[in-house]
Structures are given as structure tokens and as C-alpha cells.
Structure 1
Amino acid sequence: MALPSEAAAMDASGDQFGQRPFLEAELYRSASVAERERQVYAPRFWHPVAPLSSLPEGSALPLELLDQPLLLTHPPGGPPRAFLNRCPHRGVALLPPAQAAQPCRRLICPYHGWTYDLGGSLRAAAREAEFVDPFAREDWPLIQLACAVRGSMLWVSIGQDPLPLEHQLDLVEQELGPALERPRVLLASLESELACNWKIAHDNTLDDYHVAIAHPTTLHRQQGPVRHYRHRFADHTNLLATPVPLQGSGADAEAPEFLTFGAPPWIHLLAWPDGRLALISFPPRDLGRCRLQVWLLGDPAQTDLGEAWIEELRSFLDEDRALVESAQRGYTSGLTPGPAHRLERRILHQQALYARITGLEPPFSARA
């Protein structure tokens, strides 16, 4: 569901969102709301599932997305594919969970030996002539999911009618343009679990009000003074842009910008002038837990710097961990959220989108 009326009415300041309240605390602790998010909100969007460089041609990668077993494959000479990781015969996973892609030519079910190629077509079944009913291999392909490549990442949709990916990333596409499709490889990554609802983690990463206070020696040094902040809002994505001064440049030289995008369902993209791109996402685990997932992508020539750069990200993310887990306890205790600051408009923007997609319009109610 797009937001044309919201976007058309919004100027660069996003001021109309200043009249909206924050989502009420009950939406962060309600099991029925969490189920609605899985059934209505998450299927509306595409989900980044792996860096493209992590899935070489001739390999397969089993993983989970929102408790669904997925199997990514990359047939030689063809585009990557995404399937449900289950044999159509009796539902057994074709490959067990793994931390990295596995080279393979065929996918063989460990239960009854049904054998598939990396394109999802059944190539053989044990004792084919002995099925009770007439049997045709073409009737039993793997169940395929929509899969796309954007920003050197693989995106998968678990819904039947997802928003077009270019709409979901509207402002990212506008601001980065062709630079978004610059080839990148995975330089470094980190992953952990946060003891908070995903919405608290997402809100926090959209919160430009806390940066100078909570991250004075880490993120604030990257983003610089609040007076230099530039904000933009589109139908689905918003942006904080901050200048990065160049050493030795004249006073009149226009500084390149460090870009921080917030996008649904729970993702953030950071873009540096040197071509680095970081994805931060918070896929939910259960009502009070989510995953923190970070991929740092860049040019292969930057590989030696990857670990140092990911440590810079880890420094402020560790500071945020204490804040979001404390906020979870506050929301669980019956908090009524206070007034929104002008530097919290990116939170309000994403919350308005969330409310429309889930059907939880003001007055917000966990019983809707």
C-alpha cells in the first residue's frame, strides 16, 4: 500500500508528521499485533537475505526468514533463485542450516532421494515407476519465491503481492542513482540478538534526537553538528544526510555527504562518499527480541579495511544496545510515550507507514 497522499503533502521538513503521536506502547508488547505484523506487514515488503557475493555461481545457501526455511541457489550462468527449503514430497529440508553457501550441482533430499537442479526442477525421484498414481517430474518443482538483486544484495519476498522493490527503496534510488548498483562485495559483518521488540530498535536507528547525547565520541563525530542535518522524506523511505568535510578543500567547496536511510520493514542503509554501503536490519525473533544484522559492502580493494570499519559500527551499536533494551523494559512497564521532537520526524514517518499497512490507524489499538 503506497502513501501518495502523505508524500504529496510533505515538504522536505516532514512537518505534517509533527501532529502525529508516537505509536502507543501496547503495540510493542501485544502478541496479536506481532502476529498481524507477520501476516500483513512483513509480506508487503522485500527482505534483504544475503550479500550477492556470499552466493557464488554453483552454490546454495540455506537460511531462515521470519521462521520460514529458505534456500538460495545460484545456477551457473543464471540469476540467483530463492525457494522454500522443503522437498515437495514430504517437507524435509533439502539442505540443513549452514553459515555459508555450499558448492553443489544438485539438491538431493536426504529422506527419499528426490533430486533437484539449482533452478528448482526435479531431475530424478527414487523408484519413479512405482508411485501409486501417475508421476511426472514437471509436476513437482520446488516452490519458488520472488528474488531480486539490488545494491549487491539479494532480496526475497514472502508475500504474493509485494510492493515493487524500487518503490520500497524510493529515496535510496533517487539519492544514490547509478551508484547503488556499483558492484560491491561483503567486507565484514556482525550479528547478535537484542532483547527488545524490533520496532524499538527501528525507532532508535531513525532517532536523530539522541545522536549527539548518546554517541558523542562515536556516531556524532561521523554525522557532525545538528545544524548541518539535511532530511528528506518519500513515500516509503526517509533520509538523514550530513556533510563529510574533505581535508585540504577550500571553504567554498561542497562537501560530500554521509547518507543514512530508514526504510520498511525494519531496515537501514548507510552510504559513505567512498562507495561503502552498510545494511542494518532488525528482523523480529519474538515479541521481545529481534536480531541485529549488519553487512558492510564495498569495493574488493577495501577488504583489508573491513574489520576496522565494522568495529566503528559496532562501537555505536553497542551503545544503542543498552538504550533499546532499557526502552523495552520501559515500554513493558506501561509507558505512555511523550511528545515528538522535530529530530524524531523520521520515526513518525516510518510509524505512519507501519500504521497504514497494518491497518492500525489512530487512535492506535492493539485490538484492531
Structure 2
Amino acid sequence: MAANGASFPRRSFLAAEHYGSAAVAVRERAVYAPRFWHPVAPLSSLPEGSVLTLELLDLLLLLSHPPGGPPRAFLNRCPHRGVALLPPAAGAQPCRRLVCPYHGWTYDLDGRLRAAAREPEFFDPFVRSDWPLTGLACAVRASMLWVAIGPDPLPLEQQLDLVVQELGPELERPRVLLASLERDLACNWKIAHDNTLDDYHVAIAHPTTLHRQQGPVRHYRHRFAAHTNLLATPVAAPGHGGPAAAADFLTFGAPPWIHLLAWPDGRLALISFPPRDPGRCRMQVWLLGDPSQQHRGQEWIEELGAFLEEDRALVESAQRGYASGLKPGPAHRLEGRILHQQALYARIMGLEEPPRSDSA
């Protein structure tokens, strides 16, 4: 694995054109996003016998958890005429059957059609098994539900390669949602992703928040795998009746636009920046931990929110700077994690030539 000062496939940043082009955004939806799995909700937020509706990259999704079975993911649309089976809701809802509000087609939580109104009157012979809900690949990892929107995604274990290597069985310790937050950011998702990978700015931009958590730059340790990278910084962890022991606070960056933070006390935070349009993205943060830590969830999410709010001003300013015709400056060694993820992005997107303008 590469360490500090390693040779990177890229030595310069992506050109500014990639941060505001509508044509690039369309290609990302068609080529880049379908290659990966997307975290969409904590497993603890979808009890057995319930459903959850949400939106991902303009797709309306429906998550279900059939009793005694694994969670499932579907497009939230009836195969008959495309109407959503359920409207958007703030959280999971108890549910035994899914009934289309348009024509009454009724599905179970496994996505099988159980009944359609006036079945004998269809023009052609009607076979229920021909009309299941459109399913999407769904997996559980790190107590989160992950959904793949493409037909041939990279295996999730490969997408999270370094996370799996570093955390091992600890990654799969059952956790519950302690707290969450969401914010709209007026920037391209790559600006937000780059910023969260940017170890050059922490001591300068976050002196009283994140820098206190991560400590002196001289103690930073980096690792790079095929798809994921890591910044590890030593922190004090409570000892067992003795002095504090040294442990690492781990910050992983992974495609397509996600970050996973792991504390020595077993907490995990997952941050995602799904795009809305070329100039906007949605920041989603889920804080997971042991049920015994729930009383501190609000305190901890506010600590996360403090430095993320500092970052909001920076990324929105950077978006305006990129839109003004900026040619990005030289890359610093503490920006190596940005170069790592940009090289992966460029390879998948086939960026051998600068993008053509939208008017070309």
C-alpha cells in the first residue's frame, strides 16, 4: 500500500470544467454512479415489517424489510403505469401490503404481485408473476443499507477495500442510529468530496473543531488501496483503570462520494454527498454506535455539524471560484487522498481528453 509521498496516478487536479458541466453530470449519472453501491439508510431505521421511501439521484426508491427475511430495495413505481406505490415519508412505516393508489395492484414486501383489480378483464392473458416490482441490489454493511442502481456494480467489499482491511470484524459489530443530519450544499459533489479528502486544510480551517480531534499534522498516517484511502490520527482512548492508551481515529474516503469515520470507542459516521445538479449536492450524515451511546448522540452530531458547517462556507466559495475560470494550483502531499479519488473517477469516466463544453 502507498504511504506519504507515494507516486500517484495523477499529480494534478481535475480541470475546473468537470465541476460545473451539465454534460459531465449526465455522464456521471450514466457511467460513474451505477458502478458503485450507495448508502441510503441505517439498518436500525427499517424494522422488520416496515417500508421506507427515499430518493437517490432522481430515482424514487422503496426499501422493505419482509418479516424473517433480508431487506429489499425496489424502484418506487408500479409496473402497470409507473405511479409511486407510496409517497415520500420522513421515516419507516409499518406495512403488510403495498397497494398502488392508481389501479389497486397489490404487492407483498418481497415485491411479488398478489392481486390486480379486475384481473379477468385484461385484453391479454394476465399472469401475476410477469409483473413483479423492479428490484435493485441491496446489501447490509456496517449496519447500513446499501443499494446499487446499476446492473453490474463493483462488489461492495472491493469498493470499501481499505475499510474492510483496517476495521475487520469490528466493521460488522451491530450498531444503531445515534443521530443524523442533512444539508443542501451549493457546490458540485466533487468539491465537497475533495474537501473531505483534503488533509492540507484541517489545521488551518478547523483549528478549534476537527483539528483538535485529529491532532498534529506530523502524526498523520496515510494508506491507499485500489478504491479507498485512509487518514489515521492518534487520539487518547480511555484505559482500563489505567492511563489513557493510544488509539487511532480513522477517516476513510471511498467512491463514489462517501466517507467513513471510525472512533476508538466504536462509533462510526458515514458521510455522503449525492449530487442534485452540477452546482448542488446533498450532504447526508449518519452517526452509528452502540445503544448504550444513544444519550450522547445529539452532542456528537453537533460536534460533527460544527466543522461541517465551517466546510460549507469553504466548498460553496470554491464552487464560485471554479465557475470563474480557475486553473487549479499545484497539489500538496497532504492532498494526496484527493488525487487518489480523482484518478479513480477519471479512469471510470474515461477522461483522456478535456470535456467538451455543453454548447459544443
- Whether the TM-score (by the shorter chain) exceeds 0.5 is yes
Amino acid at match of 1:223: Q
2:270 is the counterpart of 1:291: no
2:76 is the counterpart of 1:89: no
2:188 is the counterpart of 1:200: no
Give 1:146's match in structure 2, choosing from 137, 142, 149: 137
Give 1:57's match in structure 2, choosing from 48, 52, 71: 48
What displacement does 1:270 show? 0.2
Aligned residue number for residue 311 of structure 2? 320
Aligned residue number for residue 37 of structure 2? 46
Amino acid at match of 1:349: H
Distance in 1 between residues matched to 2:327 and 2:213, nearest whole Å:
32
Percent identity over the alignment is: 81
In structure 2, relative to structure 1, the CA distance for the partners of 1:132 and 1:22 (3 Å cut) is same
2:180 is the counterpart of 1:185: no
The CA RMSD measured in Å over matched residues stands at 1.8
Q: Is the 8 A contact 1:18 1:345 kept in 2?
A: no
Give 1:349's match in structure 2, choosing from 340, 346, 351: 340
Aligned residue number for residue 162 of structure 1? 153
- 1:224-243 to 2 correspondences below 5 Å: 224-243=215-234
Distance in 1 between residues matched to 2:338 and 2:136, nearest whole Å:
31
Q: Is the 8 A contact 1:47 1:156 kept in 2?
A: yes
Secondary structure of the structure 1 residue equivalent to 2:8:
helix
Q: Is the 8 A contact 2:238 2:244 kept in 1?
A: no
After TM superposition, the score normalised by the length of structure 2 is: 0.96
What displacement does 1:365 show? 3.2
2:95 is the counterpart of 1:99: no
Secondary structure of the structure 2 residue equivalent to 1:186:
strand
In structure 2, relative to structure 1, the CA distance for the partners of 1:66 and 1:19 (3 Å cut) is closer
Q: What does the per-residue CA deviation read over 1:285-339, in whole Å, with 9 as the maximum and x for residues that have no partner?
A: 0010000100000001111100000000000000000000000000000000000
Secondary structure of the structure 2 residue equivalent to 1:305:
helix
After TM superposition, the score normalised by the length of structure 1 is: 0.94
In structure 2, relative to structure 1, the CA distance for the partners of 1:233 and 1:279 (3 Å cut) is same
What displacement does 1:20 show? 1.7
Q: Is the 8 A contact 1:57 1:75 kept in 2?
A: yes
Q: Is the 8 A contact 2:195 2:315 kept in 1?
A: yes
Q: Is the 8 A contact 2:183 2:282 kept in 1?
A: yes
What displacement does 1:14 show? 5.6
Contiguous gaps of at least 5 residues in structure 1: 1-9
Secondary structure of the structure 1 residue equivalent to 2:222:
strand
Aligned residue number for residue 206 of structure 2? 215
Secondary structure of the structure 2 residue equivalent to 1:292:
strand
Q: What does the per-residue CA deviation read over 1:86-127, in whole Å, with 9 as the maximum and x for residues that have no partner?
A: 000111000001110110100000000000000000001111
In structure 2, relative to structure 1, the CA distance for the partners of 1:44 and 1:192 (3 Å cut) is same
In structure 2, relative to structure 1, the CA distance for the partners of 1:86 and 1:262 (3 Å cut) is same
